[in-house]
C-alpha cells in the first residue's frame, strides 16, 4: 500500500520506484487537477495492459479515438431514469443477503467480505447481462470461480515485477489464465448471442399479433441497451465490442462496490454515534415497514449518502489511478517527459488536512452541502474525475444505498476490530488482508 509521510506531504510530487520503473506520485489536489482535468493525458498506465486479455479494449483500457467514440455511445445508457429500472434487482439481492446474514444475529464476529461480494456480483451480473447466476446461493459456480481466479491472476502479475514482460508471464503462468479466460468469454458471448436472438424474436412478434404471448420480455439489462446503441454514423457495436464492455462492467462493477459497502459496515460498527443518526434517518424514511427501497426513498437518504462519501474518502475502493503522459508536461515547476508514468494516490489525497481537518476521523457531516462549499473539486476523487471519470458512479451509489439501507434496517452493527488490525492491501481494489469482522444484533428489538 503506497502512503505519503507527513514529512513529504508539502512536496507537490514525489518520485517512486516500482522495481526498475520510475513513477511520479501525486497526492495534492492542485497537482491532480492538471492530470485528471486534461483531455490529453487520458492514456492509462502500462499496468492496465494486464487486463486486456480479459477486458479487451473497452472503456477501462482503451484510449484515443476508440475511447472517445465508445464513451459517447455508452454514456446515455447510464442515465438515471434507466438506472431506476435496476432497483428491483438490487432490492431482491439485498433481501437474499439479509437472510444469509440473519444466522449471525447475536453470534460471534464474522467476516462480511465474501457475503457482500457475492451479493454485488449477483447484482452486476443481472443488471449487466440480464442473467441470474445466483452467486449468493451457489458460490461454487464455474463462472463465479473464474471471475475470482482471473482477478487473482491480474493481482499476482501486478505485484510480481518479473511477470510484467509478456514472454515471462506466458512462460510461467500462461496455461492458468487461458482456461479461465475461455470460461469467462464463452459465458459472456453466449449471453450476448442469446439476448440478441431474444430481441430479434421480440421485434418479429411485435409485427405479428398472433405471436404476442411469445413476446414476454425479461428485465432490461445494460446488454439490451448496448445491442441497440449507435454512433454518429449509425454504426452499432459488434458482439466483440459488447463483450469487452460487458466484461468491463462485470470486473469494475462488483468488487469496487462490495469494498465500499464492507468499509461502510466497518466504520459504522466502529462509530455507534454515527450509526444512531443513520438509524433515525432510516426510521424517518421507512418507518417500521419492510418494503423495498424506491428511488424516492434513496433521494431522502441524505445522511446515508454522506456516510458512503466519507467511507470512500477514508477507504477509496480504487487506491491508485495510473496514467501515462502522452506529451511533455510541466507541473509546479517540474518538467515531466512524454511517456512518464504517474500514479495518483486518492488514499493520501483524501487525507489533506487543508480540505479535511482531522483527516483520520470518520465524520459524514463533512459532506453536508454547507461544509463542502469552497472545497477544491479535485481534493476528493473516489470515482476519478474529469473526462475519464467513472461512468458507473450513479449506479454504484444507488447500489450501496439500497444494500446498506436494507442491512441497517434489519441489524445493528458492531466491531471491535482496530484500524491497525485491518492490514490494508492496495492492489486494484483497497481491501483488508485480515477481513472485516463484525457482530450483528437485531435492530428495533434490542437497544444498541
Binding site for heme, by residue number, is 390
Tell me the C-alpha distance between 265 and 36, whole Å: 30
* Nearest CA among 322, 365, 357, 327 for reference residue 342: 322
For residues 252 and 202, the answer to whether their CB atoms sit within 8 Å is no
Cα separation, 304 vs 268, whole angstroms: 11
Q: In which residue are the cell numbers 518520485 written?
A: 15
| Rounded Cα gap, residues 128 and 94, in angstroms | 17
Say if CB 307 and CB 341 are below 8 A apart.
no
Rounded alpha-carbon distances, angstroms, from residue 331 to 17, 27, 32: 20, 13, 10
Distance CA 347, CA 2 (A): 8
- How many beta carbons lie within 10 A of that of residue 363, not counting itself? 18
Q: In 3D, which of 25, 19, 2, 44 has the Cα closest to residue 164?
A: 19
Binding residues: 390
Structure-block grid coordinates of residue 269? 460498527
**Three-state secondary structure call for residue 440:** strand
Spatial separation of the C-alpha atoms in residues 58 and 330, rounded to whole Å? 30
Instruction: Measure the CA–CA gap between 383 and 393, rounded to whole angstroms.
Output: 7
Distances (CA, A) of 178 to 47, 159, 257, 275, 403: 19, 20, 27, 46, 35
Amino acid at each position: 500500500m503506497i502512503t505519503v509521510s507527513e514529512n513529504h506531504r508539502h512536496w507537490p510530487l514525489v518520485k517512486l520506484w516500482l522495481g526498475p520503473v520510475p513513477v511520479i506520485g501525486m497526492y495534492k489536489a492542485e497537482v491532480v487537477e492538471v492530470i485528471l482535468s486534461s483531455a490529453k493525458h487520458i492514456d492509462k498506465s502500462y499496468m492496465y495492459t494486464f487486463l486486456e486479455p480479459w477486458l479487451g479494449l473497452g472503456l477501462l483500457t482503451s484510449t484515443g479515438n476508440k475511447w472517445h467514440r465508445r464513451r459517447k455511445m455508452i454514456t446515455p445508457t447510464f442515465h438515471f431514469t434507466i438506472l431506476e429500472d435496476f432497483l428491483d434487482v438490487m432490492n431482491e439481492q439485498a433481501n437474499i443477503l439479509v437472510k444469509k446474514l440473519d444466522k449471525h444475529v447475536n453470534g460471534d464476529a464474522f467476516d462480511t467480505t465474501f457475503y457482500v461480494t457475492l451479493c454485488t456480483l449477483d447484482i452486476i451480473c443481472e443488471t449487466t447481462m440480464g442473467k441470474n447466476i445466483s452467486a449468493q446461493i451457489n458460490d461454487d459456480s464455474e463462472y463465479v470461480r473464474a471471475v475470482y481466479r482471473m482477478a487473482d491472476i491480474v493481482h499476482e502479475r501486478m505485484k510480481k515485477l518479473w511477470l510484467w514482460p509478456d514472454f515471462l508471464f506466458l512462460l510461467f503462468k500462461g496455461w492458468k489464465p487461458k482456461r479461465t479466460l475461455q470460461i469467462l468469454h464463452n459465458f459472456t458471448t453466449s449471453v450476448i448471442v442469446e439476448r440478441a436472438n431474444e430481441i430479434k424474436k421480440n421485434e418479429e412478434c411485435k409485427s405479428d399479433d398472433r405471436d404476442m404471448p411469445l413476446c414476454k420480455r425479461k428485465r432490461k439489462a445494460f446488454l439490451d441497451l448496448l445491442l441497440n446503441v449507435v454512433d454518429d454514423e449509425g454504426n452499432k457495436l459488434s458482439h466483440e465490442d459488447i463483450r469487452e464492455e460487458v466484461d468491463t462492467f462485470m470486473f469494475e462493477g462488483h468488487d469496487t462496490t462490495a469494498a465500499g459497502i464492507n468499509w461502510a459496515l466497518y466504520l459504522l460498527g466502529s462509530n455507534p454515534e454515527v450509526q444512531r443518526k443513520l438509524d433515525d434517518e432510516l426510521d424517518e424514511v421507512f418507518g417500521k415497514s419492510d418494503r423495498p427501497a424506491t428511488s424516492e426513498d434513496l433521494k431522502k437518504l441524505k445522511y446515508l449518502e454522506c456516510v458512503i462519501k466519507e467511507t470512500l474518502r477514508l477507504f477509496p475502493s480504487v487506491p491508485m489511478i495510473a496514467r501515462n503522459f502522452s506529451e511533455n508536461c510541466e507541473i509546479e515547476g517540474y518538467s515531466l517527459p512524454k511517456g512518464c508514468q504517474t500514479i495518483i494516490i486518492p488514499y493520501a489525497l483524501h487525507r489533506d488536512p487543508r480540505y479535511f481537518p482531522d483527516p483520520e476521523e470518520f465524520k459524514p457531516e463533512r459532506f453536508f452541502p454547507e461544509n463542502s462549499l469552497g472545497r477544491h473539486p479535485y481534493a476528493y476523487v473516489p470515482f476519478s474525475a474529469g473526462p475519464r471519470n467513472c461512468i458507473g458512479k450513479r449506479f454504484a451509489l444507488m447500489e450501496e444505498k439500497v444494500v446498506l439501507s436494507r442491512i441497517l434496517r434489519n441489524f445493528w452493527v458492531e466491531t471491535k476490530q482496530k484500524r491497525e488490525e485491518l492490514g490494508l492491501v492496495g492492489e486494484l481494489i483497497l481491501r483488508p488482508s485480515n477481513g472485516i469482522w463484525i457482530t450483528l444484533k437485531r435492530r428495533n428489538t434490542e437497544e444498541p
